[in-house]
């Protein structure tokens, strides 16, 4: 019995000591509005995701318990009891008035916080119990309606209302009738869906100032019928009280001339709104912040506020969560504190600053006053429920869009396109298409995006030639001619901005940058060469290698002679040799060195320290060179080397067997033409090329890029083309390539009539497209994805092998040089030491001995007589074995065994 009690008390004790569990549950009760439920869950998810990084949040995981309820109160109470029984920390919703009030009273009884986000005109100024409503209080809303009527100086106005709740909202306005002598006329909308009767009454009464106060559900229909009846005309001034006005499609009323004023709680330009929407765009299915409804946004903010308040509760108390059965009298002891924390917490959300005053009513509400213009709703004023009584009006100059922008909106432009891939192309379709639908392409996509930004309409018209200036008449043909003659408004294709064209028309900023290059067939494979074994090293390296071999061999010969240790008795058994011999003869030195290069070695083995030093350096050098050669040879054997007949435009100009040209009258051809009259000798190649192209105009100047490409494919012809078009071609034609770099830098722009007032707006729209990465995205789509793009990138990257130059193997040469130098120094040291010793031994002067030695070395004799002092053998004198020491200093020891030893 005692253990059983302990087991029951233990979790309670633990929760008191350890505080709230890691996971808490919050419940949401929803009517049929799926979007508000989505907001609730989405906000909980956000809190859970950010809980570890955001210091305002506790690390508790919120588990959402969303339930869809009916209006049946019995069912509602059963659901709420079930939820309370499982232990929850708060209940959100529902929206429906009766059920919401019922849930609220249950929560009050159990002391569980209840959060609602609904407009409740019957709500007392001091909310009861633990409930909290994020919707602006009716008293605040009534004040702004009253304020608007005052600011608009309406003396007489009609109120078109839906139900008795409206009367509460309109109360301060109705009071004006007694205090200020204003006349307010009330018109009840009726049951609907036909509200025309009440609207017609207003029309008949000839009241021009109208306040429409109805729920969001019927607002759209009421406005539609109001327009049909004719109370949304130029002489009428209308205030719509709904905070969700901005979410409606108001385009049908934009041009009616009605003075239409509304209010909004959500500012679509607020960075918090934009960032939050960006995060949840797909989840909420909204494209624009202005589509966000107030109650939905409030639900999101409510959860955020709840989570922040919960952190404060958790920090302040080691509370627990209680399971509350409806049939008991238990209450959640932390409910009241939690509710108080919510009232004292502040956060910035989708609906601005979420803050409550001492009465638990939302304070510091900021409402935007908006006006419907031809550009849609624009903000004309701001009102704050706490700081100011008056509306802060935004000056008209700031709100009014320029006349140009307004006129752009209603325009239909004729846009010229050329059927040049991929800027403009005919759509491939099995059905017959008409109008703009017939074309697609990079240029068309850009125009379409710009039209969406600026709001104009457009009609595409095909004009195949970009246009050239007739030097005689001075008139322009093609696209540019049509723009000059007002036959078209815009032209978009691969239209290069040039100074000559800029004199005739205006261009927007470039939407693409490029330069002239050469389109040619891919270079062919090199035929195998007899001497391909030489390819691993550059000719420089080969010549250095030969040079180094000769130098090292000669040095070995010289050092071998200078090094005393290299002079040896050729007959080791003859103790007193007459002559000493040196193994590093001229021939042997060369043989020794070549043996090392060939990795074969030789019989010759250096004995002296200096000769060994030099040999080691040489072997090291050979090791690295041979390894590098072998490795690079393997690469050369596996890689196909290709030969291009020319590598740049200068080489192309010199090739007599390859024709070349550019598009007729195109910017590329004009580039060469501009150099024709230039006196600058630096550009003689370009002049020469221009003369060649002019002389062979018929043969080498195709009218379109496609004809140029066909010529490259079939003839010995190189096409001078713009890099962007080359890029497009080589994505699809795998045996084509770009040869050489860019000859110039330029861009494509949209052509527009000279001094057009729209140029600035087009530039701004283009900048927006490029800043948002849309142009890059479109380029990728049309170059690499659509119409066979990416075909030639399947084979992967090309591998190549390059001969090793001096910069690759220079270090080994350096090591060899240093080693050889050291061994030379050491040889001199050894020689001087030996001469010194001999001069002492032979009792001659050092100089004399040195001269003798040098003279002997100069003779290049292969044998050296041994030196004796006073006719006695050197051995008997100093017990030296030098004269008869065999190579490596090995002296065989002869052991004679006497017969007596055996015994
Ligand atoms: N983009 C060129 C032009 O605007 C046409 C192509 C070319 O000349 O390479 O004329």
What pLDDT does residue 488 have?
A: 92
Give the CA distances from residue 771 to residues 691, 761, 776, in Å, rounded to whole numbers and listed in that order.
Answer: 42, 15, 9
Q: Is 479 in the pocket of ligand 1 (CB under 6 A)?
A: no
Q: Ligand 1, from 495, 516, 517, 668: best to mutate by most atoms within 8 Å of Cβ?
A: 668
CB 455 within 8 A of CB 470: no
Q: Which one of 494, 513, 660, 702 would you pick to mutate in the ligand 1 pocket, going by the greatest count of ligand atoms within 8 A of its CB?
A: 494
Q: Which atom of ligand 1 approaches the CA of 722 most closely?
A: 9
pLDDT tens-digit profile of 276-302?
998 998 899 888 889 999 999 999 999
Q: Is 746 in the pocket of ligand 1 (CB under 6 A)?
A: no
Q: What pairs with residue 512 in β-bridges?
A: 748
Question: What parts of the chain have a pLDDT lower than 50?
Answer: 1, 6-17, 869-903
| Residue 721 beta carbon below 6 angstroms from any ligand 1 atom | yes
CA–centroid distance for 843 within its chain:
88
At 100 the pLDDT is 93
Ligand 1 centre and the CA of 727: distance in Å?
A: 14
Residue nearest to atom 8 of ligand 1 (CA): 666
495 lines ligand 1 (CB under 6 A): yes
What is the Å distance from ligand 1's center to 2 Cα?
A: 96
Question: What pLDDT score was predicted for residue 388?
Answer: 63
Per DSSP, what are the bridge partners of residue 25?
63
Verify whether ligand 1 is closer than 6 Å to residue 548 (CB atom): no
Binding site membership of 663 for ligand 1 (Cβ less than 6 Å): yes
**How many Å lie between the centroid of ligand 1 and the Cα of residue 496?**
6
For ligand 1, whether the C-beta of 668 sits within 6 Å is yes
Ligand 1 centroid – CA 771 distance (Å) = 26
Give the residue, by CA position, lying nearest to ligand 1 atom 5.
666
pTM of the model: 0.49
What is the distance in A from the centroid of ligand 1 to the CA of 702?
12
Task: Write the secondary structure of 205-244 as one string of H (helix), E (strand) and C (coil).
Answer: HCCCEEEEECCHHHHHHHHHHHHHHCCCCCCCEEEECCCC
User: 722 in ligand 1 pocket by Cβ < 6 Å?
Assistant: yes
Q: Is 701 in the pocket of ligand 1 (CB under 6 A)?
A: no
Q: Is the CB of 466 under 6 A from ligand 1?
A: yes
**pLDDT recorded at residue 353:** 92
User: What confidence score (pLDDT) does residue 604 get?
Assistant: 84
The residues pairing with 369 across neighbouring beta strands, listed in sequence order, are: 263, 381
Residue 456 in tokens: 């104009």
* Ligand 1 close to Cβ of residue 665 (< 6 A): no
* pLDDT score of 416: 94
What does the alpha-carbon distance between residue 575 and residue 589 come to, in Å, rounded to a whole number? 27
Distance from C-alpha of 583 to C-alpha of 604, rounded to nearest angstrom = 7
Q: Which residues pair with residue 264 across a beta bridge?
A: 368
- The closest residue, in CA terms, to atom 6 on ligand 1 is 666
For position 862, what pLDDT does the model report?
Answer: 67
């Amino acid at each position: 019995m005692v253990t059983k009690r302990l087991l029951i008390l233990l979790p309670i004790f633990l929760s008191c000591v350890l505080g709230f569990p890691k996971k808490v549950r919050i419940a949401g009760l929803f009517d049929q509005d799926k979007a508000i439920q989505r907001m609730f869950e989405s906000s909980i998810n956000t809190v859970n995701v950010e809980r570890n990084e955001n210091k305002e949040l506790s690390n508790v995981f919120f588990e959402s318990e969303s339930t869809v309820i009916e209006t049946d109160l019995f069912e509602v109470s059963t659901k709420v009891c079930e939820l309370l029984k499982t232990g929850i920390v708060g209940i959100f919703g529902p929206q429906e008035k009766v059920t919401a009030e019922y849930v609220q009273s249950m929560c009050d009884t159990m002391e569980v916080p209840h959060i609602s986000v609904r407009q409740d005109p019957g709500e007392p100024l001091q909310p009861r119990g633990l409930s909290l409503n994020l919707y602006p209080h009716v008293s605040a809303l009534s004040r702004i309606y009253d304020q608007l009527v005052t600011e608009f100086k309406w003396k007489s106005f009609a109120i078109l209302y839906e139900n008795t709740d409206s009367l509460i909202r309109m109360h301060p306005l109705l009071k004006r009738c007694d205090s200020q002598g204003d006349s307010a006329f009330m018109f009840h909308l009726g049951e609907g869906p036909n509200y025309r009767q009440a609207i017609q009454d207003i029309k008949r009464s000839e009241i021009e100032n109208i306040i429409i106060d109805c729920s969001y559900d019927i607002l759209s229909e009421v406005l539609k019928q109001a327009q049909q009846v004719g109370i949304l005309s130029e002489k009428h001034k209308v205030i719509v009280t709904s905070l969700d006005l901005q979410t409606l499609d108001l385009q049908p009323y934009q041009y009616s001339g009605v003075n239409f004023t509304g209010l909004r709680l959500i500012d679509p330009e607020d960075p918090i709104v934009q960032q939050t929407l960006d995060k949840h765009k797909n989840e909420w299915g909204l494209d624009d912040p202005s589509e966000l409804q107030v109650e939905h946004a409030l639900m999101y903010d409510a959860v955020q506020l709840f989570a922040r308040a919960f952190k404060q509760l958790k920090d302040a108390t080691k509370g627990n969560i209680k399971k509350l059965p409806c049939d008991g009298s238990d209450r959640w002891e932390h409910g009241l504190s939690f509710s108080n924390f919510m009232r004292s917490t502040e956060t910035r959300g989708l609906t601005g600053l979420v803050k409550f005053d001492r009465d638990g009513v939302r304070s510091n509400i900021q409402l935007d006053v908006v006006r419907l213009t031809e550009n849609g709703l624009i903000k004309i004023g701001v009102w704050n429920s706490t700081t100011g009584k008056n509306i802060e009006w935004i000056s008209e100059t700031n709100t009014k869009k320029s006349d140009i922008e307004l006129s752009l909106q209603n325009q239909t432009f004729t846009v010229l396109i050329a059927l040049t891939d991929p800027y403009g192309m005919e759509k491939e379709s099995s059905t017959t298409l008409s109008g703009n639908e017939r074309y697609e392409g990079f240029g068309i996509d850009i125009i379409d995006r710009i039209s969406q930004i600026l709001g104009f309409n457009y009609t595409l018209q095909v004009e195949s030639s970009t246009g050239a200036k007739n030097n005689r008449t001075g008139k322009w043909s093609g696209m540019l001619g049509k723009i000059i003659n007002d036959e078209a408004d815009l032209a978009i294709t691969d239209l290069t901005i040039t100074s000559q064209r800029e004199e005739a028309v205006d261009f927007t900023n470039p939407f693409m940058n490029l330069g002239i290059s050469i389109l040619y067939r891919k270079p062919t494979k090199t035929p195998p060469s007899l001497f391909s074994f030489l390819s691993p090293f550059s000719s420089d390296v080969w010549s250095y290698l030969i040079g180094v071999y000769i130098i090292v061999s000669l040095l070995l010969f010289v050092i071998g002679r200078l090094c005393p240790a290299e002079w040896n008795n050729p007959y080791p058994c003859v103790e007193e040799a007459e002559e000493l011999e040196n193994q590093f003869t001229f021939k042997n030195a060369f043989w020794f060195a070549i043996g090392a290069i060939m990795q074969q070695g030789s019989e010759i083995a250096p004995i002296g320290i200096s000769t060994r030093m030099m040999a080691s350096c040489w072997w090291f050098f050979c090791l690295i060179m041979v390894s590098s050669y072998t490795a690079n040879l393997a690469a050369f054997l596996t890689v196909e080397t290709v030969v291009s007949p020319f590598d740049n435009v200068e080489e192309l100009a010199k090739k007599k067997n390859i024709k070349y040209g550019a598009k007729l009258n195109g910017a590329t051809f004009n580039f060469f033409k501009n150099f024709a009259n230039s006196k600058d000798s630096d550009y003689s190649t370009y002049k020469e090329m221009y003369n060649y192209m002019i002389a062979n105009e018929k043969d080498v100047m195709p009218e379109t890029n496609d004809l140029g490409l066909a010529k490259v494919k079939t003839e010995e012809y190189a096409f001078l083309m713009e890099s962007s078009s080359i890029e497009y071609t080589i994505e699809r034609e795998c045996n084509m390539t770009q040869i050489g770099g860019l000859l110039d830098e330029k861009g494509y722009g949209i052509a527009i009539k000279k001094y057009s007032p729209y140029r600035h707006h087009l530039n701004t729209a283009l900048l927006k497209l490029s800043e948002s990465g849309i142009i890059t995205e479109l380029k990728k789509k049309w170059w690499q994805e659509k119409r066979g793009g990416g075909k030639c990138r399947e084979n992967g990257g090309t591998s190549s092998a390059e001969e090793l130059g001096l910069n690759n193997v220079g270090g080994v040469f350096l090591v060899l040089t240093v080693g050889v130098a050291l061994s030379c120094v050491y040889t001199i040291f050894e020689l001087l030491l030996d001469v010194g010793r001999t001069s002492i031994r032979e009792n001659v002067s050092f100089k004399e001995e040195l001269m003798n030695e040098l003279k002997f070395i100069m003779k290049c004799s292969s044998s050296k007589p041994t030196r004796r002092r006073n006719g006695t053998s050197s051995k008997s004198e100093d017990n030296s074995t030098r004269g008869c020491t065999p190579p490596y200093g090995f002296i065989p020891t002869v052991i004679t065994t006497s017969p007596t030893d055996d015994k």
